[in-house]
Amino acid sequence: MIRSERKSYSLREISERFGGEIVGDPDTRIRQVATLENAGPGSIAFLANERYRRQLDNTRASALIVGESMRDATPLPCVVCRDPYAYFAHVSGLLNPPRQAQPGRHASAVIDASASIAEDAEVGPLVVIGRNARIGARSLVGAGSVIGCDVTLGDDVRLHANVTIYDGCMIGSRVILHSGVVIGADGFGIAMSDERWLKVPQIGKVVIANDVEIGANTTIDRGAIDDTVIEEGVKLDNQIQIAHNVHIGAHTAIAACAGVAGSAKIGRYCRIGGASGIVGHLTIADHVEISAHTLVTKSIDKSGTYTGAYPFDANREWRRNAAQLRHLDDLADRVRVLEQKLTQPKRSKS
C-alpha cells in the first residue's frame, strides 16, 4: 500500500508499545518493514528461522527483530523478543495502518430512509443499503457493496468493494470482509418430492462475532433453521465455502479453497489447511490441526494434527499404487484367513 507520507518510529518507541529488549541504539528510526534480503535504510526485518541466518551478513536493514538465540548474531540494532514473527506483525501494523473511514455518503449510493448509519461512517459509490440496516461508527462500506434489510454492522467494520450481505445477518465490530464475499446466501437445502427437488426455505441467518476477517470470494450460507455462527477472531482465507448451520469456534484459521459442509461444528483455535474438506454434521475438537487436502469424514474428539492427503508421485508409479488400493479389501480378507490358519492348532497325523 503506497502512502505519500510515512511516519517513522524509534526502536525505543516501538519497544514501549510492544515490549521486547533493545540491543544497540534505541534511537534508530524505522519507517517500514522488509525482508532481510530486500531491506534498506530505515527498514526493520525479522529473523525467526535459522535457515535465513546467512542473510544477516548482507542485509541493509537498519534494525532487526530477533529471538533470544539470535541476540548476538549481528552488530545491527535489534529488538529481542519471544516471537519475532508475531512482533513483526505488530510493527507492520503500526507502520502500515489501514485507511480510515472518511465520513460521508457518495451521491450514487442508494440508502433506504429507515437505515441507521453512524455519522462518521463512509459509504462508497454505488452502494445499496436496505431497510432498517444499521452501520456502526467508523465503518467503511466499499464501492458496489450491497447491505440487505435488517443487517447490522458493528463499529470499525471494513467492507471492501462488492461485498454482499443478505437480509438479517449480523456482523460484529472490527470485522474485515474482502471483495466478493457473500454472507447469508441460501444454504443447499433441498428435499426430493415426487421425483423433483423441493427447496427447503433457509430461515436462519449468519452471525459473525468481533475481529473476524474473511478473504475474497469466500461464501458463508445462512442457517436452514438455526443460525450459521462464526465466533470471534476467526480468520478465513480466500475462496472458502461455509455451508448452512456451521459453527466455527473462536480464533480458528482456515486456509484457501477449503469446504465445510452443513451443520459441522469446528472447535476453537483450530487450523485447517488449504483445499481440505469437512463432511457435514460432525464435530471437531478444540486445538485440532488438519493438513492441506485432507478429507475429514468423521468427528475428531481429541486435539492434535490429522493428515489424510495421498502423496503425489510420478504418474506411472501413482497409477500402479492406486490400482493396488482397489484390492485392499480383498487383501485384508486373505490376511485374515491366513491369520486364522496360523493360529489354529495343528492336527496330529494318524
244 tagged catalytic? yes
* Count of other CB atoms within 10 angstroms of residue 316: 8
Contact partners, residue 146, CB within 8 Å, separation at least 6? 127, 128, 163, 164, 165
> Among 244, 251, 287, 293, which one carries the catalytic annotation?
244
Residue 145 Cα distances to 19, 108, 126, 207, 265, angstroms:
39, 12, 7, 18, 29
Retrieve residue 183's grid coordinates.
454472507
Cα separation, 164 vs 25, whole angstroms:
49
- Exposure string of 43-53, with b = 16+ CB inside 10 Å and e = fewer, is bbbbbbeeeee
Cα separation, 197 vs 301, whole angstroms:
35
Instruction: Give the end-to-end CA distance of the chain in Å, rounded to a whole number.
Output: 91
Q: Which residues are catalytic?
A: 244
